[in-house]
Amino acid sequence: MEFKSFVAIAAFSVAVSAFAAPTVYEAEAQPGVNAGDVSADSTGAKFVTKSSGTEFTFTVKVEETAMYDITTKVLIKQYDWTTSKILVNGVEAGSMLTTPRNCDSSYVVAASAKMRAGENTITVGNGAIGVDYITVERHPDPVFNISELPVTPNASGSAQKVYTFLRNNFMKKTVSGMMISDQNFNYDYGNMKLLKAGECTPADSCKFSDEEVSWKGQTDIAEFYKRSGHYPAVGGFDMLFAAGGHHEEGWFRGYTENNLVMTEQLWEMGGIPTYTWHWKVGEDTIFYTQQEGYRNAGCTEGVTKTADNNTCFNYTKAFKDSTCKEIDLTSQVYKDIVADVDIVSGYFKELEGKGISVVWRPLHEASGGWFWWGTASPKCYVQLYRLVFDRMVNTNKLTNLIWVWNINTDPKFGYDYSALNAEWYPGDEYVDIVAVDIYDPLNNHNSAANYFNKIVSDVGTKKLIALSENGAIPDIDSIAEDKAYWSYWMTWSQTWSGNFLEKTPTDMWKRNLDDERIIALDDMPGWDKVITPDVIRAGRNIVRKAEISLQGKDLAIALPQAGVTAIAIFDITGHRIKTLNIGVLDAGTHAFSLQGLAQGSYIVQVKSGNERFAQKIQIK
């Protein structure tokens, strides 16, 4: 089907009030549009199609510099929709992403972008489309309602301090961060022992000096300091070699053990450790997938990988069927998963014993599909995330983790902010921070407010929002102007050929890290000076002292004082299956019947305000 593209420049301008209803600009009403350029679809909507050019541009006047929401109704006439864009002042603000993508169909497409006070241009097109209208409306400032408590029941004092610090600074300041990939450490391979600072002498032929093996001496961190004059407050680590093939071999063990040494150093300096996990399961050595992962040719039973960029691991076999609603405790895949989770939990348990908390980002970038945990459906991923949470929190009793869920673009819809897919969200009870990874190809250091606002729109305002990986840093002036205060950003590594520190000029590094709105390591108060709110301690006292007991299928909960507002039962994968009470309960013992529940493991959750306590029970 042939279709000629078009162009029309509208001289028509209307001021948009910050608090006004959306202003509508009809394409057929713009100057230069002739009757022959207008056609109607079956609904009567009028679309402008010009015979020359490729774009349709509106001129819009606004009263203040701010983020604005833009919608446009377009008609797809051919299958070259992939070239269609929305541009604001010549910069792409969104793609014409449509599902389904049918010929001769109309779609309403949304974008979000900054506009400066005065005249701005909004261009729709760069593809074979007709345009009905655009609307322009100032984006409302988000109002957050974030819990005073992390989601981990009975969170450790250190976890509460990290969470409180991040919560107190959210939407006011942004914490700086840097990832470490390659590591400097010395290892005694004969005795399988990490050599810490002070344990090496020249006779040992150690490769690195004591200064180089320290956290500040690591190449990624030292290069950060060289450019900015400050050390980052957030230090990024990876459980990359904690499990999987070779993880017990010398260098691999040394890498993981050195993570813990550096984490302790960073914590003592008042910094915030954050961990991700490029997870290789069992004896596999690959976490990447190619195309469809375990569905690829050659991925048969017992095969660990088909190439160096494709693992055959199929985590859905940890469940009883493809819906992933019920865990199969007898499956080898389930056993492999929990064995690895237990290994990692053991390392975090070591840190917990030293009073150290960690910001923990498992199963990241799932919807992208390039890791094995992103190869199945969103529903299966949610169940996998909840399984990991349950194993670490309820089985392994970790209390020092702040949980991060990493929203990501979905290739089914594209790679810009409008393709962020919240369908993969595990749920409010499993997440403290929603984070996104952005590698800005333009390196223009904008705030990435369209990503920030998309998270607010799709996930809500109950969670902190962070930039968990980035190339070029978002400039603090842009962050403040757009009211997109990321809780923290974390530049990905310079080592292992990352070179991401080079995406930001030295003068911008210096200006941002000198700015009081950016928190560097030397700006951190020290963990002994972070005080958690009294309401946290008061709420914890009620639920911590609750005594839960089970006789057959009769549940008894003894409360030390009034204040508990909800009691619920969850299955082991995190589904709420029964609400026992809503409303304030008096002090004393309260009995509930669990008749009707099948044999198996369940979680009882007691809630008081924002404080939660959970205990596993076994119905026999």
Residue 16 has a pLDDT of 40
CATH topology of domain 8-138: Jelly Rolls (2.60.120)
Q: pLDDT value at position 620?
A: 80
pLDDT at 433 over 80: yes
Q: How far apart are CA 100 and CA 180, in angstroms?
A: 41
Q: What is the 8-class DSSP label of residue 153?
A: T
Alpha-carbon gap, residue 463 to 451, rounded angstroms = 15
Lowest mean pLDDT among 177-191, 449-463, 570-584, 587-601: 570-584
Among 455, 456, 459, which residue's Cα sits nearest to residue 438? 455
Identify the CA nearest to 183 among candidates 234, 222, 226: 222
**Mean pLDDT of the chain, nearest integer:** 87
In the predicted model, is pLDDT for residue 198 greater than 50? yes
Instruction: Please check whether residue 333 is in contact with residue 317, taking contact to mean a CB–CB distance below 8 angstroms.
Output: yes
Alpha-carbon dihedral 472, 288, 183, 273, rounded to 10 degrees = 70
Contact 456/427 with Cβ under 8 angstroms? no
| Distance from C-alpha of 230 to C-alpha of 232, rounded to nearest angstrom | 7
**pLDDT-based confidence at 535, cuts 50/70/90?**
very low
Confidence label for 619 from pLDDT (cuts 50, 70 and 90) = confident
Asked if domains 8-138 and 534-619 share a fold, the reply is no
Q: What is the pLDDT of residues 307-325, one digit of tens each?
A: 999 999 999 999 999 999 9
Cβ proximity of 358 and 402 under 8 Å: yes
Three-class SS string for 43-92?
CCCEEECCCCCCEEEEEEEECCCEEEEEEEEEEECCCCHHHCEEEECCEE
- What are the domain boundaries of the chain? 8-138, 157-529, 534-619
Pick the CATH number of 157-529 from 3.20.20.70, 3.20.20.80, 3.40.50.1360, 3.40.50.2300: 3.20.20.80
Q: How far apart are CA 11 and CA 17, in angstroms?
A: 19
CB of 459 closer than 8 Å to CB of 425: yes
**C-alpha closest to that of 2 among 102, 74, 80:** 80
Dump pLDDT digits (tens) for 19-29. Answer: 457 899 998 88
Phi, psi of 559 (to 5 degrees): -110, 135
Q: What is the pLDDT of residues 232-248, one digit of tens each?
A: 999 999 999 999 999 99
Q: For residues 119 and 108, what is the distance between their CA atoms, to the nearest angstrom?
A: 24
Q: Sorting pLDDT into bands at 50, 70 and 90, what band is 404?
A: very high
**What pLDDT is stored for residue 552 in this prediction?**
85
Residue reference for tokens 């001129």: 59
Architecture of domain 534-619: Sandwich (2.60)
Task: Note the pLDDT of residue 30.
Answer: 84
Q: Copy the structure tokens of residue 122.
A: 């909004």
Q: What is the pLDDT of residues 117-136, one digit of tens each?
A: 999 999 887 555 688 899 99
Residues pairing with 235 in the sheet:
178, 273
Those residues with Cβ within 8 angstroms of residue 71's Cβ, 6 or more apart along the chain or in another chain: 22, 108, 109, 110, 111, 134, 135
Distance CA 530, CA 72 (A): 48
Scanning the structure block, which residue is given the tokens 């603090």? 476
pLDDT digits (tens, 9 = 90+) for 471-484: 999 999 999 999 99
The sign of the torsion formed by the CA atoms of 511, 514, 515, 517 equals positive
Whether the per-residue pLDDT at 599 is higher than 80: the answer is yes
Q: How does DSSP assign 156-193, residue by residue? A: -HHHHHHHHHHHHHTTT-EE-EEE--S---EEETTTTE
3-state secondary structure of 443: coil
